[in-house]
Amino acid sequence: MTLRVATWNVNSVGARLPRLLGWLASAQPDVVCLQELKCAQDGFPAEELRQAGYEAATHCNGRWNGVALLSRIGLSDVECGLPGEPGYPEDVIEARAVGATCGPLRLWSVYVPNGREVGHPHYSYKLRWLEALRQAAVKDAAGGTPYAVLGDFNVAPTDEDVWDRAVFEGATHVTPAEREALAGLRAAGLDDVVPRPLKYDRPYTYWDYRQLAFPKNNGMRIDLVYGNAPFRSAVRDAYVDREARKGKGASDHAPVVVDLDLDAVTPADAASADAATS
């Protein structure tokens, strides 16, 4: 079985709906993880997506976050939010994670908090949120089911994942604490499935709208796909769809697309996932 999965921070599903529908028709993904929906639960365009062939699992509250999973291969066992997920403020749980079983895959769409600035309460919230994600991954990554966490992590894994490290000196997204939290996912049995190099140098996924960042390729790689051993072993190709970032009305993020061949997954891959989490 071959499948195509993707993740995309659409930066408002309402504003981006025509582009999203056009991209679904051209890219033909089987499952798409969306982030930053910026809509209420009853404002999500479920009917338009259903007509395009996709069921939707959504977790949104009309504020500046919101996540979804779109699937044309089935959708079950939906979970909204992470176990033990922190809030911001403490008593407000934001809509930042949704998980579901999509055919043979177990997937999560996540929108990690931005952090705002080092020392800000939102920065410590970000680190606590990533720890909650790690703890959830320890349990869910185990076993032979291909499992992955996809989304906007708001962390650049290495200095090569930002266009100029000096520009980010002292800022969020590149601090040792954030990168250490991301490394915690690897300790939980997950790893980045996007190969490097890709088909071009510096495969960024986000470019600010300001200062001609996209034409200058002044970007960051913060939209990631972290999978367990069975998921990783099935990966046959991966790319950042830069074309979707071009033109008027685009999101400031580009989709990340991963092609899978599940027939390539062996019992040894399942054993590797078990060993990583034992």
Question: Which residues, at least 6 apart from 65, have a Cβ–Cβ distance to it below 8 Å?
Answer: 35, 36, 37, 38, 94, 95, 96, 111
In the structure encoding, which two tokens stand for residue 219, read together? 């970007």
In the structure encoding, which two tokens stand for residue 79, read together? 């979970």
Radius of gyration of the chain (CA): 17
Taking the CA atoms of residue 232, residue 99, residue 19 and residue 112 in that order, the dihedral angle to the nearest 10 degrees is -80
* Residues catalogued as catalytic: 111, 152, 253
| 41 exposure class (CB count in 10 Å sphere: 0-12, 13-18, 19+) | middle
Question: Any known ligand binding at 159?
Answer: no
Question: Any known ligand binding at 120?
Answer: no
Question: Any known ligand binding at 152?
Answer: yes
Question: Any known ligand binding at 47?
Answer: no
Alpha carbon separation from 25 to 29, 45, 51, 208 (Å, rounded):
9, 16, 11, 26
Question: Any known ligand binding at 9?
Answer: yes
Can you tell me which residue has the tokens 């509250």?
61
**Which residue type sits at 203?**
P
Question: Any known ligand binding at 252?
Answer: yes
Which residues are known binding-site members? 9, 36, 152, 154, 252-253
Which residues are known binding-site members for Mg(2+)? 9, 36, 152, 154, 252-253
